Amino acid sequence: MTVESGYGNRQRNTTYGHPLKPVYGPDDVTQVDYARDLGSPGQYPYTRGVRPFGYREREWTRRQVVGLGTAEETNQRLRYLFEQGQTGFSVCGMGYAPYESSDSRSEGVLGRGGVWIDTVRDIETLFEGIDVAKVTINQIGASLPVFAMILAEADRRGVAYANLHGTIQNVVMPGGEGEQLRGNHCIDIIEFCTRHMPHWNHTSISARNLRDQGLSSVQEVAFGIYQGLFTLRAALARGFEVDAVAPRITFFFSAENELLEEVAKYRAARRLWSRLMSERFGSRDERSQLLRFHVQTSALSLTLQQPLNNIIRATIHALAAVMGGAQSLSVNSFDEVIAIPAPAAAMLSLRTQQIIAGETDVAAIADPLGGSYCIEALTNEIEAETRLLLERLENMPELKAWQFMADEADEAGYRRQHAVDAGERTMVGVNRYRITDEEEQELGPQPREGSSYSPAWRQKQIARLERAKRERDPQRVEAAKKLLVEAYGARVNIVPPMVEAVKACLSIGEIASLLAGVAGWEELKRRHGLYLQLY
């Protein structure tokens, strides 16, 4: 193995292109006014955190994203992690496809990196042994039928909607009819939650997905806040007041390798959102001004080469999230780049959070890096650069702005990979500190396989679907279909009839085909924004 030199005098830049100084001092923060720009934790503009005593007041929710095979396998993994100290429910792949498991398009896909949901019977199995009133539920994706299934499961157990705590990754996107009009199911979800689910976050802006394509920290925050403002305005156009909607808008960010920049990013995002809510929208409820966010550690930074190195990377990402004041956190397993995480890898990711919480002092102090010349300078830079990019987005036509964000993500991914290929961006084990296969074997067994995929999962899921259809009440099915079609045509809030549809055991594939039959797929897509949000 050839040992390569370190960074030396090589220039280092932030992800948004500003040079990092080797030393920061008082001259870098001369414009910072403590009361105006920082404040104590729990005080406007919330730069230092949303609670006065940080995690001593309330720990972050510990999640590990789970999703493999059928609902049965995923439930077993979830219950194991809850026994080990996980505190939040987060499942990947909950009903993303607008077709059934028996469809030929599901072959080779079902069970790979996510649990397949056909009907409410799968949700019942998924939540078996889990108290829906005591855990916070993170619904990954904005599937309206899956959201309705969660409500149906609460009804089955006699749990009031007002007692459900959770989040749905919902965001309003521009559609041909205008986001302020009836017929946009994303706003229907916001409206329903605002009226009936005071502890459910109706909006989670997933800026993390774009960041994982290679965006800078500034782009991640600017794009996320733009989408948050767009969603808020759409809800206001329905007749709601800002303080009725804004408190339940949350954000989903990434955590990357640049630890100091990441901590500053979270602080800058909190301050900017707080100021926008107060100065631009005139919010009076301090809850509207609190930017609350979940962090999932970066997947883009994980490497197939020397996969155990990913443990260190994910730990650094988790530290950044905690020191930046995240309300919820999931740590990627080191083997996720290989396959579905093995049980031991998933538990190690959970233990990473528990060690940070219980064996270090970073969680004992609110905003532990606050006051650092470097952190405050980077926080100022990120907020200033974010404002410039946000202003640029808001001056574009809506459709152009959303296309711009997508194009920037594609371009960022290319630039990042080019930098890795050229050796300008270090990836240990990939373009530096590489070892041969023989050297790797000398180190001992290396993990190369996660949980294995089983083709039998699809057959089991198809059998579950067929049984659910055999056992359901045909009259109730037809009545639910009629109710859903009528509601869709009248453009009333679609959530209540959707709940009745899933209770009648209609599958997601049947629901998608039914509504497409009313208006056609193109109209269905238009009503749901730039992509089909139904499934």
Strand partners, 428: 432
pLDDT at 522: 59
CA distance linking residue 123 with residue 115, whole number of Å: 10
73, burial (CB in 10 Å: exposed 0-12, middle 13-18, buried 19+): buried
Q: Which residues of 308-343 are buried (b: 16+ CB within 10 A; e: fewer)?
A: ebbbebbbbbbbbbbbbbbbbbbbbbbbbbbbbbbe
Of 85-94, 154-163, 186-195, 264-273, the range with the lowest mean pLDDT is 85-94
pLDDT at 98: 82
**pLDDT above 70 for 6:** no
In the predicted model, what is the mean pLDDT of residues 475-501?
95
pTM of the complete model: 0.93
**pLDDT above 50 for 473:** yes
The tens digit of pLDDT for each residue in 103-123 reads 888 887 776 668 899 999 999
**pLDDT above 50 for 535:** no
Of 98-107, 293-302, 348-357, 377-386, the range with the lowest mean pLDDT is 98-107
Q: For the chain, give the mean pLDDT.
A: 91
In the predicted model, what is the mean pLDDT of residues 448-458?
74
The tens digit of pLDDT for each residue in 289-317 reads 999 999 999 999 999 999 999 999 999 99
> Nearest to residue 94, comparing CAs of 64, 130, 126?
126
8 A C-beta contact, residue 91 and residue 143:
no
Q: What kind and span of H or E run contains 61?
A: strand 61-63
pLDDT at 177: 45
CA distances from 460 to 93, 128, 255, 508 (A): 17, 18, 37, 17
**pLDDT above 80 for 355:** yes
In the predicted model, what is the mean pLDDT of residues 494-519?
92
Confidence of residue 452 (pLDDT cuts 50, 70, 90): low
**pLDDT above 60 for 8:** no
pLDDT at 3: 46
Confidence of residue 515 (pLDDT cuts 50, 70, 90): confident
Q: What percent of the chain has pLDDT over 90?
A: 76
8 A C-beta contact, residue 527 and residue 519:
yes
- Long-range pairs of 224-229 with CB within 8 A, sequence gap ≥ 24: 224/251, 224/253, 224/269, 225/269, 225/272, 225/273, 225/276, 225/386, 225/390, 226/390, 226/393, 226/394, 226/401, 226/405, 227/171, 228/203, 228/273, 229/276, 229/394
> Nearest to residue 143, comparing CAs of 110, 98, 111?
98
User: Token pair of 441, please?
Assistant: 């074997």
The tens digit of pLDDT for each residue in 138-149 reads 998 888 999 999
Of 164-178, 276-290, 299-313, the range with the lowest mean pLDDT is 164-178
In the predicted model, what is the mean pLDDT of residues 368-379?
98
The tens digit of pLDDT for each residue in 247-271 reads 999 999 999 999 999 999 999 999 9
- The answer to whether the bond into 98 is cis (omega within 30° of 0) is no
The tens digit of pLDDT for each residue in 74-105 reads 999 999 999 999 999 998 876 667 889 898 88
> Nearest to residue 484, comparing CAs of 472, 476, 496?
496
pLDDT at 534: 36
Of 78-92, 154-168, 169-183, 313-327, the range with the lowest mean pLDDT is 169-183
Q: Which domains does the chain have, with CATH numbers?
A: 59-364+373-442 (3.20.20.240)
In the predicted model, what is the mean pLDDT of residues 454-480?
94
In the predicted model, what is the mean pLDDT of residues 383-396?
98
